[in-house]
Amino acid sequence: MLKHTLIHPEITAILSRAGHHSKVLIADGNYPASNTLGPNAQLVSLNLAPGIVSCTQVLEALLTALPVEAANTMGIPADDPYALGGDPPIWTEYRSILSGAGLSIPLQPIPKWDFYDAVASRDHVLTIQTADQRLWANLLLTIGVRQP
């Protein structure tokens, strides 16, 4: 019986095979998840209905199960038609969740097109597609190491 809050069998199996520097994408409902997978990545769809499941819910569950050494958002080009003129509100939520989990890692944006390249890398092991409707909610986590 698992003691952490992440109980999804497929996600748990994929994460148990992942190692240091492996990448996990929590994708919002607008992200083109099926055609941006890295060569070693698997897609798990948790998009039941608009807003269910959210990126923040997935992040909270993942943080109970794995060490994270980096967290990257998709950088917003100033000329993007969906640019919000500042950080999206969900980024503040991410910072709060990471801090609440005892992590002191910054939330680092990667320029939009470089973000897609990072997801397409061989280090990408898992995309969790959510139904989150918030803009710019994609979050790329880098798995860290277990400390003795």
CATH number, domain with residue 119: 3.40.1650.10
Q: Are strands 124-129 and 139-143 parallel, antiparallel or unpaired?
A: unpaired
Count of domains observed in the chain: 1
SS3 81: coil
110 occurs within a structural domain? yes
pLDDT in tens, 72-118: 999 998 888 888 888 999 999 999 999 999 999 999 999 999 999 99
Query: Rounded to whole angstroms, how far apart are CA atoms 144 and 67?
Result: 5
Query: In DSSP terms, which residues pair with 108 in a beta bridge?
Result: 72
Domain containing residue 40: 9-77+84-143
pTM of the entire predicted model:
0.95
26 occurs within a structural domain? yes
37 occurs within a structural domain? yes
pLDDT in tens, 25-65: 999 999 999 999 999 999 999 999 999 999 999 999 999 99
1 occurs within a structural domain? no
148 occurs within a structural domain? no
108 occurs within a structural domain? yes
